[in-house]
Chain A
Amino acid sequence: MLAPRFNTRESERARAEPLELSLYSRDAGLANGQAGAVCFPRDASDVAFAVATCKKLGVPFVARGSGTGLAGGATPLDDALVIVTTQMNRVISIDAASRTAWVEPGLLNLDLTRAAQPYGLHYAPDPSSQQACSIGGNVATNAGGPHCLSSGSTTAHVLAVEAVLPNGEVAMLGSTAPDQPGFDLRGIFVGSEGMLGIATKVLVKLVPNPPQIQTMLLDFMSIDEAAATVSAIIAAGIMPAALEMMDSRITAAVEDFVGAGYPRDAAAVLLVEVDGLSGGVDHQASLITEIGRAHGAREVRLARSESERQLLWKGRKSAFGAIARIAPDYYLHDAVVPRSKLVGVLRTIYEIADSHDLTMMNVFHAGDGNLHPLIVFDRRVIGVWERVQAAGTEILERCLAAGGVLSGEHGIGLEKRAMMAQFFSEADLELQARVADALDPHGLANPGKVLPAGFRCGEVGINRTLPEGTWI
């Protein structure tokens, strides 16, 4: 019923063949859903057509970029239409003088930085998946990344968004002006995980490449020492461009892939980057070296060339993928705790994993306390999935108890929807639901995500199932 409507426009822009649909049933997270049809718009009018068609038919829709999300945000529920933005991947224009660029949502994060290279500029938010993830997805999840420590996450780099709203209309949120009069709807849209509409054009800020960069690798014989170093660096008034931590298991797996000379026998390593003017960079690097040594750093290695630096980062950014060298499945968490609590929380996380007889690894943005506890397992082992889930919940609860938050950058999606009530009050959640209801009264835009069940008014219609074969 849906696919034929697209076929009238152009057949290759919509698919409903079962095998192909099954490939859109999940993103890089663990939750599986079921797509009813999938379409590939080329511009805003295609997206508006798809959304208007969904509205007319009362069918839910989900936007999807590269499908690298880890919280199930792009997982379609209830035979939703999956609107894939991969064919909307152009850099529309770059304004080097005002350091901005208009881009389409399917553009890959790293391709944006590549396009800005000739102007000596780059796009600052750099999620670990930056080579593969799209700007649209970055906007939807308010994505972070190692270098967001000093430069802020996606919302600090998005000036305006052209979006197709859930009613099928195209609206401009934000503008080129530094302080747009009226409500900051752009601010509400960024991080809304596809529940307030679909971005069709994004105006991003570009930042100048720093004149000097120094990347450092500090290795420690205990995780406590590494965690304490993180706190001490920030406490000393230094704001590194990036401050990352990897534990021994992750470091070994990564080293197998990149061969960057990561020490396999260290209990933890810190990857620290400082940038700016050369005098300042050297000064900061020597301060960090001192602090590291004072906290028991065994070795402090400075990257001597750009290629060495790139290799170290390639290792860090491949960490999640590289763990399949240890076990075929992983459950990657995303939580934030105050930096001062890092030592205690990390210790607890390992204890929780031990108590469930699970293998725990940690690789994370230590500088802003954004933890990524990673449980590796083999789902073919009977009973293991239940233990993984139980341990995951305990870890998040422990992080919240330490004054942390549910998610640092991956989003809530399907994964942490149920835990939202532990973090927000009922009034908080109702307010969020009212915003969503105002823009999406029928609850068709990525329903069943972020907000726990029972808060949206359109929810009555969501969980109905359509007769089999409706779409094909």
Chain B
Amino acid sequence: MKSGPLGLDPELLNACVSCGLCLPHCPTFRVTGLEIASPRGRIAAMNAVETGMAPLKRPFIDAMAECVQCLGCETACPSGVRFGRLMEDSRATIAHRSGLRALLSRAFGAIAYRRLLPNQHVLHLLSWVLLVAQRMRVMPKRFRSSVPRLTRHRLRRTLNVTVGGNPDVWLFTGCVMDAWLQKTHVATAAALRSTGVRIARPDSRAGCCGALAAHAGRRDIARSLAKSVVAAMPGAAPIIVNSAGCGAALKDYGHLLGDADAERFAARVFDISEWLVAQTASPLATEARTSIVIQDPCHLRNVQRTHDSVRLLLGGAFALLETNDDGMCCGAGGGYAANQPDLSTKITKRKAKALRDAGASTDVAVCSSNPGCTFALEAAGFKVVHPAELYADCIAPDRGEPRNG
């Protein structure tokens, strides 16, 4: 069977038997109850377009845009449907169709994904503009949950790590993490150094992993960013990532770039918790067991599938509280909060309830290892910490300015 207007692999599409076991694991289905907002419905819609039963325009395009790409459906699917591939392929076709709307969206994508995110200087400058906008209360509503409360303290560059060279392990710093979550990078560096390795961060070529571009269907941009990231971290040293979304993207470079070098690169990538658990012989053990609520970022749980390592890493030192929602998405979804503010808000509300039911409060923090989730949950009123920060605080309670690696 040949593929149709979307260019999807018919075998991937046919793997869905419409059993519906994905429905409860889909955040947009959960908050709308609509079949078209469910993985099964989206696959049926893709099928309809592929077989010419429905046109490749709205409402199909809207339906594809409404997906958070959390891939909770992939984890739940007994048939192993590769929903993420199908969605990215569909979005790639949608992004490259003709027409004014697509052209404008391509132009926006080119600026945001190619010029803005990968360029630390531009991003830093923009951060100050956003800070001013926040102070003047002129921040557009749709960006409120995807940009954290910016302060001079937050924007201070405190990470002290060698750039480039020939380290034992690379610390991938990324775009938004580097701009707005320096404290996480500082803690990650401390945690890595505690295992006795020399670390370095890549130079400016590794400014952005390209995940947001790939999710938006801009594989062309994602590929060129990926090539640049690969070039910035040569050698065989492991690459440590503390953002779940970036880690998932880097681990997928083999598929994205489709060559053996990229495969080898992807095999060197580890999430920080995954790596620390593998390195440290004895897990943390302390007397005072502070409670924290674990939030699994979707790209750690459903893509990297290494979310248990966070529990292994912290279980000895903290009382881990779990949500009773099968690790449902928080609604942040990279650019999703800005693109689909209404749905995103509904999903975040649902997550917030699950987190509060699990015990999260002003005293009990939520532990998350993804910047998007962190910002959305902060905006929802939670105190959010990264596993690396908790770990670093345990091994060096009074850690000051880190040594140079």
Which A residues lie at the B interface, using CB under 8 A? 17-20, 22-24, 26, 28, 40, 66-68, 84, 86-87, 89, 106, 108, 110-111, 114, 117, 129, 131-133, 254, 256-257, 318-325, 328-330, 380
Chain B 32-54 per-residue mask, 1 if CB under 8 angstroms from chain A, else 0: 01111000110011001000011
Contact B21 A89 (CB under 8 A): no
B195: interface (CB < 8 Å):
no
Q: Which residues of B contact A131 (CB under 8 A)?
A: 21, 24, 76
* Minimum distance in angstroms from B189 CB to a CB of chain A: 35
* Minimum distance in angstroms from A214 CB to a CB of chain B: 25
Contact B324 A114 (CB under 8 A): yes
Chain B: interface secondary structure? loop
B7: interface (CB < 8 Å):
no
Chain B 1-41 per-residue mask, 1 if CB under 8 angstroms from chain A, else 0: 10000000000001111111111100001000111100011
Of B20, B53, B59, B78, chain A has the most CB atoms within 10 Å of the CB of: B78
Contact B33 A106 (CB under 8 A): yes
Contact A329 B17 (CB under 8 A): yes
Q: Which residues of B contact A68 (CB under 8 A)?
A: 19-21, 23
Contact B45 A23 (CB under 8 A): yes
* Minimum distance in angstroms from A263 CB to a CB of chain B: 19
Q: Which residues of A contact B48 (CB under 8 A)?
A: 19, 22
**8 nearest interchain CB pairs?**
A86-B33, A321-B78, A324-B79, A318-B78, A322-B78, A328-B14, A68-B20, A23-B35
Q: How far is the CA of A266 from the CA of B17 in the complex (A)?
A: 26
Contact B21 A132 (CB under 8 A): yes
- Given the known interface contacts A89-B33, A132-B24, the answer about A328 and B41 at a Cβ–Cβ threshold of 8 Å is no
B70-105 CB contacts (< 8 Å) to partner A? 76-81
Q: B17, B19, B36: which contacts A328 (Cβ < 8 A)?
A: B17
Of A19, A254, A329, A330, chain B has the most CB atoms within 10 Å of the CB of: A19
Q: Which residues of A contact B77 (CB under 8 A)?
A: 321
Query: In chain B, what residue has the closest Cβ to A326?
Result: B79
- Given the known interface contacts A22-B54, A24-B35, A328-B15, the answer about A321 and B59 at a Cβ–Cβ threshold of 8 Å is no
Q: How far is the CA of A325 from the CA of B78 in the complex (A)?
A: 8
* Minimum distance in angstroms from B201 CB to a CB of chain A: 37
Q: Which residues of A contact B41 (CB under 8 A)?
A: 23
Q: How far is the CA of A111 from the CA of B23 in the complex (A)?
A: 13
Q: How far is the CA of A132 from the CA of B21 in the complex (A)?
A: 5
Q: How far is the CA of A329 from the CA of B16 in the complex (A)?
A: 9
Taking A19-B45, A67-B40, A322-B78 as known contacts, 17 extra A-B pairs with beta carbons closer than 8 A to each other, sorted by chain A number, are A23-B35, A23-B44, A40-B34, A66-B23, A67-B20, A67-B35, A68-B21, A87-B33, A114-B324, A129-B19, A132-B19, A320-B17, A321-B78, A321-B79, A324-B15, A324-B17, A325-B79
Q: How far is the CA of A110 from the CA of B63 in the complex (A)?
A: 27
B60: interface (CB < 8 Å):
yes
Contact B36 A19 (CB under 8 A): yes
Contact B33 A19 (CB under 8 A): no
* Minimum distance in angstroms from A16 CB to a CB of chain B: 12
* Minimum distance in angstroms from B110 CB to a CB of chain A: 30
Query: In chain A, what residue has the closest Cβ to B325?
Result: A114
* Minimum distance in angstroms from A279 CB to a CB of chain B: 32
Q: How far is the CA of A87 from the CA of B33 in the complex (A)?
A: 6
Contact B36 A20 (CB under 8 A): yes
